[in-house]
Amino acid sequence: MNTYGAAEDSTFVRTYTLTRGRTKPRHLLGLDTVLDIGPGRLGPGQAEECEEILALCREHRRSVTELAGRLGRPVTAAKILVSDLLDAHALIISVSDAYTASDAGADERPTTHLLTALAAGLKRKFPDAIPYRQAG
């Protein structure tokens, strides 16, 4: 095996252990979901990347894609870590600027980002709710 293959295998194994073998996040997160610091704390046994995510979000709000890029990890791995931090309330989905109209005549429908954040919040608050089929 060449050196490149060994490095690639090492990265794969590290990502697998980083996510504790999980392949899907618990929360519905888009690539453009913006995250901010929450009131919770980092739990014991969390990956060091979780601390890096919190440090980055303390500087200013970050998207899932930006966090994955800054960590040098696949987006799915970043989503799994972000889900852990959302569960611990160490991160929150930022919706402060997602629904603002610039003038009275503007289209006042909620943005996709706001609706995604609302859905994630409702799923977190009511995890045992019965899902309904999507319309359309």
Q: Are strands 62-63 and 91-93 parallel, antiparallel or unpaired?
A: unpaired
CB 119, CB 28: distance < 8 Å: yes
User: If DSSP codes are grouped into helix, strand and coil, which group holds residue 92?
Assistant: strand
CA distance 131 to 112: 19
**DSSP H or E stretch at residue 132:** none
Average predicted confidence (pLDDT) for the chain:
77
pLDDT tens for 13-40 read 576 677 776 778 888 888 889 999 999 8
So what's the pLDDT on residue 97? 52
Could you tell me the residue ranges of all domains in the chain? Answer: 14-98+108-125
Reading the block at residue 86, the tokens are 């959302």
Q: Does 102 score more than 60 pLDDT?
A: no
